[in-house]
Amino acid sequence: MAVPVIDFSKINGEEREKTLSEIARACEEWGFFQLVNHGIPLELLDKVKNLSSECYKTEREEAFKTSTPVKLLNELLQKNSGEKLENIDWEDNFTLLDHNENEWACNTSNFKEMMVEYRGEVRKLASKMMEVMDENLGLPKGYIKKAFNEGVEDGEETAFFGTKVSHYPPCPHPELVNGLRAHTDAGGVVLLFQDDEYDGLQVLKDGVWIDVQPLPNAIVINTGDQIEVLSNGRYKSAWHRVLAREKGNRSSIASFYNPSYKAAIGPPEMKTAAEEGSEKKYPKYVFGDYMDVYANQKFMPKEPRFLAVKTL
């Protein structure tokens, strides 16, 4: 069993209906799939990979050696208790946001210019993917994006768009610590450019952890909690995790297209033909209120979050 791989170049050709169906099935059955021929220039992806690696090696690798995960693992080894570190991740990361390039935590030459270009390409791909989801769900074109951008002013998007640049360094005892603990993503659409050499990312499918196989130049798509709500449960946000590894420094660049914190999120008011007569399975709430709950329950069961959030 393997995570679906979909050729996105066929979305505008003779195989459009087949491609739409493949994406719909992946959203419904997996919540994870890989896109190839997605339109992001391959030379840009090469630059992203190389400059991100250079940034880690020159600016962050030495600091990680004295980081909290390393200190806690060393303390655990000294105790020799046989326990595992459950509440921390063997990960180095920093986040890139809009309009604050001067504060980005990397000074590697050309990194900022390259990441601005990359984030622009990924943002366009996110918009295309949301339109595909609209079509597959029987929603008006632009429905999901509009829901995420509630309060848009002068045509400027208010949705949150962030990029997390992560590295998972070699771990001397990977059996004792998580690379990244199992969770679902809180927001909307996640677009991941992952390492094409070192594995470690896994998705939970029918109770079994499945490797998200490294695939050169692919973009991994996964649906977050808000897509689950906007589809009234037809699409599910998937549990996923990263395993710590003894060898290799796995890179991971995840971009998140999430609702504005002021956006009201809930199942669609209109019903598609497939949903006639079905009840709304989720409450309506403000996304910022959901994030307040998620901050404390990220690594806990998903369903109680929807019950705990303040409803509209």
Buried b (16+ CB within 10 A) or exposed e, 32-60: bbbbeebebeeeebebbbebbeebbeeeb
Give the pLDDT confidence score for residue 80 in this predicted structure.
80
**Do residues 73 and 147 touch, judged by C-beta distance below 8 A?**
no
Give the pLDDT confidence score for residue 273 in this predicted structure.
44
**Do residues 258 and 95 touch, judged by C-beta distance below 8 A?**
no
Highest-scoring range by mean pLDDT, 81-85, 147-151, 253-257: 253-257
Amino acid present at 299? F
pLDDT band at 270 (very low <50, low <70, confident <90, very high): low
Give the pLDDT confidence score for residue 258 in this predicted structure.
97
Give the pLDDT confidence score for residue 277 in this predicted structure.
54
Q: What average pLDDT does the chain have?
A: 94
Contacts with 161 (C-beta within 8 Å, 6 or more apart), sequence order: 97, 98, 119, 123, 126, 255, 256, 257, 258
Question: How far is the CA of 18 from the CAs of 35, 57, 273, in angstroms?
Answer: 14, 43, 20
> What angle, rounded to 10 degrees, do the helices at 42-55 and 111-137 form?
130
Span of 63-77, 99-113, 281-295 with lowest mean pLDDT = 99-113
pLDDT digit string (tens) for 173-201? 999 999 999 999 999 999 999 999 999 99
Question: How far is the CA of 48 from the CAs of 27, 115, 117, 311, in angstroms?
Answer: 27, 7, 10, 41
Distance between CA atoms of residues 156 and 139, nearest Å? 23
Distance between CA atoms of residues 310 and 283, nearest Å? 9
pTM greater than 0.75: yes
pLDDT band at 102 (very low <50, low <70, confident <90, very high): confident
pLDDT band at 118 (very low <50, low <70, confident <90, very high): very high
